[in-house]
Amino acid sequence: MTEPVVVEAGAGGLERVRVTGARADAEVYLQGAHVTRWQPRSAAAPVLFLSARAAYAPGKAIRGGVPLIFPWFGPHATDRTKPMHGFARARSWRLVRAEPAPDGTVGLELALDDDEATRAVWSHAFRARYRVTIGDALGLTLEIVNASRAPFTFEAALHTYLTVGDVRAVAITGLDDTAYIDKVDAMTRKRHGAEPLRLTGETDRVFLGTRTRCVVHDRDLGRRLAVDKTGSASTVVWNPWSAKAAEIADLEPEDWRRMVCVETANAADDAVTLAPGARHVMTATIRVEAAA
């Protein structure tokens, strides 16, 4: 009988948790608390995109799956020598719980606390807990606690890479009439209209004040990928398109066609300020649905 939860050496010798559940399979690397695979039994095509060129090495972010971003999003606001997207995605997290539930799901909990290395780049004391629920849906819950004696402000994101048949044939709903920062156009602030979002070139947008579900309508794969969230006021949509993808070493040249990132986030204007002892919880739930 297959063990539902196995901790083993994964690619590059990095430690990972492999889950074989009644409802879905998954893989989570302890470096970065990084979900690299979630495949519900009901889905024929892969749900999470993972690059065949992804690097598995200490301190290196894995290209694909769900990178966990904290405590800042993108480059550091004042010091570009600090790591892109913060440090959480490259740190080793502790596995504190792994257990199957009676309903057929499997729950994991991972933990990261401040230490000398984190305080060297971000001076605050914190506790981060990440709960992953693996089943027909993928549930992700990131809890941040301010363990400092003073308030701090942070950004966070679940940088979800979704597999699509062809990004040029995809429509994304849930972002109607929403202000966004266009990072491809010199951080210009714009507003998306009432129509679904369709990607026609390099896209890197931080949609602000978004709290509703986003749905990726995939004509070629005949399905919808729905992302519900709580505790998140930003949604980031990213695709490098052809020219930029060719410059990214851990992407295949044509990978841009097969993926789109729809990220649950609190970024830019939506950064979170926590008082000492306070906590913030952000969740994302990803589901595969039949095409309408």
For the beta carbon of residue 186, count every other beta carbon within 10 angstroms: 6
The tokens 């990972």 sit on which residue? 16
pLDDT (tens digit, 0 to 9) for every residue of the chain, 292 residues total? Answer: 578 999 999 999 999 999 999 999 999 999 999 999 999 998 989 999 999 999 999 999 999 999 999 999 999 989 999 999 999 999 999 999 999 999 999 999 999 999 999 999 999 999 999 999 999 999 999 999 999 999 999 999 999 999 999 999 999 999 999 999 999 999 999 999 999 999 999 999 999 999 989 999 999 999 999 999 999 999 999 999 999 999 999 999 999 999 999 999 999 999 999 999 999 999 999 999 998 7
User: 185-229 pLDDT, tens per residue?
Assistant: 999 999 999 999 999 999 999 999 999 899 999 999 999 999 999
The tokens 């048949």 sit on which residue? 165
CB 28 within 8 A of CB 108: yes
Domains identified in the chain and CATH numbers: 5-290 (2.70.98.10)
Q: What is the residue-wise DSSP string for 46-64?
A: -SB-B-TT----TT---SB
Q: What is the pTM of this model?
A: 0.96
Measured CA to CA, the distance from residue 121 to residue 83 in angstroms comes to: 9
Peptide bond into 4 cis (omega under 30): no
User: 163-175 pLDDT, tens per residue?
Assistant: 999 999 999 999 9
**Closest listed residue to residue 53, CA positions, set 243, 261, 251:** 251
Count of positions (residues) in the chain: 292
Classify 12 as helix, strand or coil. helix
Q: What is the pLDDT of residue 258?
A: 98
Please give the positions annotated as active site. 159, 263
Q: Which amino acid is at 16?
A: R
Q: What is the pLDDT of residue 186?
A: 97
Q: Where in 31-160 does DSSP place strands (E)?
A: 34-40, 68-69, 94-100, 106-113, 126-134, 138-146, 152-154, 156-158
Q: What is the pLDDT of residue 1?
A: 52
